[in-house]
Amino acid sequence: MSQVKERTVGVVGLGLIGGSIAKAYSAAGWTVYGFDATPSIHQFAIIEGVLNGVLDRNSIRECSIVHIAVVPDAACKWMQEHAGELSKETLLIDDCGTKKAITELGFELAGRYGFTYVGGHPMAGTHLNGYKNSRASMFQNASMIVVPPTFDDINLFERVKKLLEPMGLKRVVFTTAQDHDRMIAYTSQLPHVVSNAFIKSPTAQQHKGYSAGSFRDLTRVAWLNENMWTELFLDNKEFLLSEINTIIKNLQEYADAMEHDDAARLCSLLRDGRIAKELSEKS
């Protein structure tokens, strides 16, 4: 007889994302079990009233959905160690920033043990990290990218959307692991690289009094978790290197135009960029 209970969620990893997931489900009235590699964190979350208990081999079988909110290598290790503990009625979803390697493993383990797995990536966060910076409203009006095992199972799509409702998402986007990683290289990973490189200019140390919104916007994500982003960049290096090489080429065109005092060429490049932005807003 199944032990799975409705409105019961498990969360592995209680950092910024996992902590926010736990708080969102708790605020929606769900029973929440959680685990963090630092025991004091999940113990504090229990005292705070966010968690109803620790996610272990007993409570995990009650969960209708389990979120894995740790970096890809740790997520893969957790799945390999705990896949056999999941009920066949449980939906397992990871919340990692790259999808190819982890979805390959997730689909294989789901087939072996009989539970349902989809890859996930909530498109929300801040430059801060840790449980102390998590909040229940983190995902309000955000997108969740989901990589399903197949694209012809409408019942699965509806099940995923229903189980993600407590997060308050604006939309759920279903795609492939390859398309996810290709797009994320541009929309998320490249901005972190550019921001991190931009702030290394010696001029940055004298910016006070000379900077406004554009400086703040461009440098916000330079403040990052270098260990996490190193893993994500290397996991997705093929797509990310392509985007880095493209922006280097584009920047060189601006530099060449200024080097030769070619006002017409520089104006044309700037106009092309403005038009590209307008088109991106309409798409």
> What percent of the chain stands above pLDDT 90?
92
Nearest to 170 by CA among 143, 137, 135: 143
Residue 120 pLDDT class (50, 70, 90 cuts): very high
* 107, containing H or E segment: helix 100-113
Please report, for residues 20, 81, 132, 253, the alpha-carbon distance to residue 71 in angstroms, rounded to integers and kept in the order given: 16, 16, 18, 37
Phi, psi of 52 (to 5 degrees): -90, -15
> What percent of the chain stands above pLDDT 70?
99
Which pLDDT belongs to residue 2? Answer: 61
Phi-psi region of 16 (alpha: psi -120 to 50; beta: other; left: phi over 0): alpha
The pLDDT of residue 200 is above 60:
yes
The pLDDT of residue 86 is above 80:
yes
Q: pLDDT tens digits for 95-114?
A: 999 999 999 999 999 999 99
The pLDDT of residue 1 is above 90:
no
Burial 43-57 (b: 16+ CB within 10 A, else e): ebbbeeebbbebbee
Q: What is the mean pLDDT of residues 226-240?
A: 96
The pLDDT of residue 199 is above 80:
yes
Residue 128 pLDDT class (50, 70, 90 cuts): confident
Q: What is the mean pLDDT of residues 112-137?
A: 94
Which pLDDT belongs to residue 127? Answer: 79
Nearest to 167 by CA among 228, 217, 122: 122
Which pLDDT belongs to residue 156? Answer: 98
Q: What is the mean pLDDT of residues 122-130?
A: 89
Q: pLDDT tens digits for 14-35?
A: 999 999 999 999 999 999 999 9
Amino acid identity, position 79: M
Q: pLDDT tens digits for 43-84?
A: 999 999 999 999 999 999 999 999 999 999 999 999 999 999
Q: Scan for tokens 């044309």, then name that residue.
A: 268
